[in-house]
A and B are shown apart, each in its own frame.
Chain A
């Protein structure tokens, strides 16, 4: 069941709140000045944290990025061409205030939906790229996310390009009901056709990759990369805790846990990501372009 997926994320950040009970941290941290790691609780200056590409210097937790940051760290400058920037969703089950919520997220994130797709070069290797932004309604997958991913795969299949997807999601977009569930089948089908056409698909699992996204395209890469310490799982931690009635180990559903259990090829540091992606494309015989097309 996809229940409680949003709570997973909150639970992670609530770890900090639980510390309050021992009376240590009732100080209100100014949001823009300091970063408190949800994993280890270490507090750092926001400036240092951002300089460190939003990686916790103490525990190496790779925190969430906006799509703009991810693009900046990944694509060769000036090479990104966006697809479907104007696509917006509807309200299939007439969920109250859904449009309002989407509009607020659009304004906050500077994008039409929870994923940005397009074409770019990574160290000279041309690929189709998709970046999910968890700031946009926890990057849940509704019609637009499903359609954009499907079109990205179809374009890559036609142009014989590899696909690189950075996943981060709470799962299916509840507000779109059954229509959102169907996006799992639709995106997986598009990935299947791209695969049958002999093209490479790499997924980079970022914080948090859960629910219906884990149970569809995120798990279907030829090569699956994860960032250190990120949350990866199907069911929410609290749902599972409710089922088994006992505490779960701290490393449960981390990138490291998933690798140990055989579901992640490699855990790659943010600073090494571009080089690793380029290396993978090179090893799959994709050509390097000497000069980015203008």
Chain B
């Protein structure tokens, strides 16, 4: 289906006109009601949260917000969340749990923000807490990587019952640039890193990380946002219905085992 190389996909998902959650949410969901703030420190625009209906089923939506222009990107910090963003996500997920409402996480971030304030407010703790709490959240969680799935900042919204990726989305332990810089001390070898790292949706599927690949429009989502959105909506409706049928304890056992079995070692 997709013969693009990882490097080509990286270029594609960085295109200015690649659709973002601001494009998708109004098409996929109805009655989106935004909820603000983590109740501790502030409201992080890099993660947008709310309740909406998907085919008349109420769902909680947690979405990392890439800007479509420089103004939006300034506001959303290029989709690099601060700890309060992750804490807001957890708060609304807990609210969803209380009302047995499925949670949909839309992942699109180069990574959690690296800065003095983020460290002071516990970026590491905020991500760790989400990993722990989402693992035991007693309501269905479905995550979709839309573009960049960068590192712990993406994983904090991707502990889920099922993980899907858009066809050209990438999911990686670190950005290819960071990888090259750490392992070869040469950020210029980004392309080489990109091919070596095995970060495409097909790679992620092979490692048991990604459960479903959602097709984009021919040539990329930007060529037909509506079609891509409709593919997304179709998948989400089906997944929500299917996963909601599980007994919650069985669902949690499956969620635990989804991650439990990832790893390659011998004894």
Contact = CB atoms under 8 A, between A and B. Distances in A.
Interface in B121-137: 121-125, 127-129, 131-133, 135-136
Interface string A273-289: 00000000000000000
Chain B interface: which size bin? 35 or more
Contact of A184 (B111, B131, B181, B198): B131
A172 B132 contact: no
Contact of A188 (B116, B131, B177, B267): B131
A135 interface: no
B151 interface: yes
A144 interface: yes
Interface centre among B120, B156, B158, B183, by most A CB within 10 Å? B120
A20 interface: no
Contacts of B199: 177-178
Interface in A184-227: 184-186, 188-193, 195-196, 211-212, 214-220
B263 A175 contact: no
A74 interface: no
Given A1-B151, A184-B152, A188-B135, A239 B114 contact: yes
B3 to A, nearest CB: 20
Contact of A196 (B136, B158, B177): B136
Contacts of B129: 219-220
A45 interface: no
Contact of A189 (B118, B152, B259, B265): B259
B173 A188 contact: no
B21 interface: no
Contacts of A184: 128, 131, 152, 155
A244 B115 contact: yes
A87 B265 contact: yes
B174 A3 contact: yes
Given A92-B264, A147-B263, A262-B122, A172 B197 contact: no
Interface centre among A143, A144, A150, A188, by most B CB within 10 Å? A188
B228 interface: no
A2 B111 contact: yes
B119 A233 contact: yes
A81 interface: no
B266 A174 contact: no
In terms of DSSP, what is the predominant structure of the interface of chain A? helix
B264 A252 contact: no
A174 B179 contact: yes
A233 B207 CA distance: 29
B103 interface: no
Given A2-B111, A185-B135, A261 B266 contact: no
A182 interface: yes
28 contacts: A1-B111, A2-B111, A2-B178, A3-B111, A88-B266, A90-B266, A95-B183, A143-B265, A144-B263, A172-B151, A178-B203, A182-B263, A186-B260, A189-B135, A189-B136, A189-B159, A190-B260, A211-B152, A212-B151, A212-B173, A214-B128, A215-B112, A215-B123, A215-B128, A215-B131, A219-B125, A234-B123, A243-B114
Interface of B: 110-112, 114-116, 118-125, 127-129, 131-133, 135-136, 150-153, 155-156, 158-159, 171-175, 177-179, 181-183, 196-199, 203-204, 207, 209, 256, 259-260, 262-267
**Top 6 nearest A-B pairs by Cβ distance?**
A214-B124, A3-B178, A1-B111, A235-B114, A143-B263, A188-B131
Given A182-B207, A261-B120, 15 more contacts: A1-B150, A2-B152, A3-B114, A92-B207, A144-B265, A175-B183, A181-B172, A186-B263, A189-B135, A215-B131, A216-B127, A216-B152, A234-B152, A235-B118, A240-B115
